A and B are shown apart, each in its own frame.
Chain A
């Protein structure tokens, strides 16, 4: 096509070692210096660093290999193929929708490109309350610098789309702080379809950066290859047992792959990592695996504007406000951002049917939506959820919503409505089964005060999965140490967002990149010294 598929082209010209496990007809055993399970933000950066050091790296990915020729800005196709459980993943009780990637490149293929450094208060909190060492702002700064350069992170220089501009105007009207979002893009066409895979190869996801670099350095990639079990013996992991997944993306073909290496890196993300460890009956004397899983619970407010907004076009996220993030000690902090609103995303989030749905969606091109990302994990009434296994061995997240969180969600609904009205909204609807559009703040506030704090009626979702293998120096409180080494096995490292002891308080990708660079660089030294 007019836009070159750089992955496919380079794979051919550089002779990359790519294996679709689903096409294998017999079992196999693969050996390497390091096995990396997962190819998202954590696994991608780890693969680049370890392969650059001359180590023989094998990457394992349960999702498929999809590249820019497959990315056609088609919501149904993308949600079905690029997301965990066909974008239908949810918490155990079904109340909170979970959007998490599942493909070579992981969630970085479908995220909305917002790239924030880990906030200093978050790093300080880890040091003070979770016994994490080596993660001060000063210690992390060089890793952020390097990853920002590597992935071309810079503040979005083009004007924000209307959806984002309204967030800015609302903040300005209230004198709330706001800023431009840094994005990891190169040659971005300002399309707005980041969530469906970038068709222009502009997003600097792992698919077009670190994974190709690792493959160039003779790493091997096995995709549609699902890690089923780690085999533990004598304080180490002996091997990784995987199942080949057929072309449909879900059905095991019956072929088994066994991977062996002196060092294993687990980078499967915040739900699948604890899931794999639990399925493997990993030693867990203090029962910490899967605990403290954080999600930045998100609620949303919908506004009818007087102007054309076309909220489906343009860089999805370019303005944010942290005005309510660190403001008060007692309340739950939150970040204000906006989501892109293509038709499927827009229609699904409403919770309406019949004429109400049709009438609301008729105004899609003049709608604005604001979201609040609640900062979970910083308060005794917010300790996150727990990953457990269902009867089939699938990991599920049990995530309770406490009164403290409901108060935070209610406050966020108020602030979002205030912002939207100040920016000229004709009417505002907090997304809740019992709400409708309100034409002034007084009525809207009254409704918000009385909306039942009930799951399944209050629209909640998450796209940020963190924790579940939390890090710290105290083995009684954490799963891995500050270097990412599993407390109960010497050769198993967890390198991705699952090690965060709290949520980040910002879209987490850059936090994961910097952490992975730090941990993988240290692992290189450890391996070379041995």
Chain B
């Protein structure tokens, strides 16, 4: 795809970005609430998206070991759920609209270039999507990339399991200063 085609697609998907997320919300395509009581914000489809994207966003950072990796991602999802809730009602709504867009077939395909469902998407497809949004000349995509990137960076590197790899020994004098551990 040359730059002109890309830009054209970009302009189309920018319109889609606002239009379809709205229609997805209005037409009842989007899940309105988390289906499981333990989630404050994230719906099943949102979690599927995050589970698919996390290993690509954090490639080289997440543990190789399957069980450790799974636990890292499970924790991330719980922390992302809390983090989005803590953004307050206004931002939470915007994040949900972004997830709607990403989970609605047509808008997902047009904006991300990923036409298969997230749990079926290949690593390459997801990498292309991330790079496309990061490099896009449309600031709306840069913004959305930044949002997902920050959430994932924060909730992985906030976990002690990530610290060995980056040479961070953890907080100083934990026995003296940490009153109750807040991260498992």
Show the binding face of A for B, using Cβ within 8 Å. 1-3, 68-70, 72-77, 79-81, 85-86, 88, 93-95, 189, 191-193, 199-200, 248-250, 312-313, 342-344, 346-348, 350-355, 357-359, 361-365, 390, 392, 394, 433, 454-457
Contacts and interface: CB of A to CB of B under 8 A. Distances in A.
Given A2-B175, A72-B179, A346-B157, 11 more contacts: A72-B178, A94-B147, A191-B172, A348-B150, A351-B134, A352-B149, A358-B60, A390-B90, A456-B146, A457-B139, A457-B142
Contact of A361 (B146, B150, B166, B182): B166
Contacts of B166: 343, 346, 361-362, 364-365
A271 to B, nearest CB: 13
B90 A76 contact: no
B177 interface: yes
B167 A364 contact: yes
B171 A193 contact: yes
A455 B139 contact: yes
Contacts of A348: 150, 153-154
B32 to A, nearest CB: 17
A392 B176 contact: no
Contacts of B162: 343
Contact of A70 (B79, B158, B179): B179
A93 B157 CA distance: 26
A359 B155 CA distance: 18
A77 B182 contact: yes
Given A81-B86, A88-B87, A362-B167, A353 B146 contact: no
A394 B90 contact: yes
Nearest to A72: B178
B182 A392 contact: no
A381 to B, nearest CB: 21
A456 B88 contact: no
Contacts of A346: 157, 166
B134 A433 contact: yes
A80 B82 contact: yes
The B interface, classified by DSSP as helix, strand, loop or mixed, is helix
8 closest cross-chain pairs (CB), A and B: A86-B86, A358-B60, A73-B171, A456-B142, A76-B158, A365-B167, A347-B153, A343-B157
B153 A350 contact: yes
A302 to B, nearest CB: 14
Interface string B124-155: 00010010001100010011001101101111
Given A344-B153, A347-B157, A1 B179 contact: yes
A313 B147 CA distance: 27
A69 B180 CA distance: 8
Nearest to A67: B179
A193 B176 CA distance: 14
Contacts of B165: 358, 361-362
B60 A85 contact: no
A74 B139 contact: no
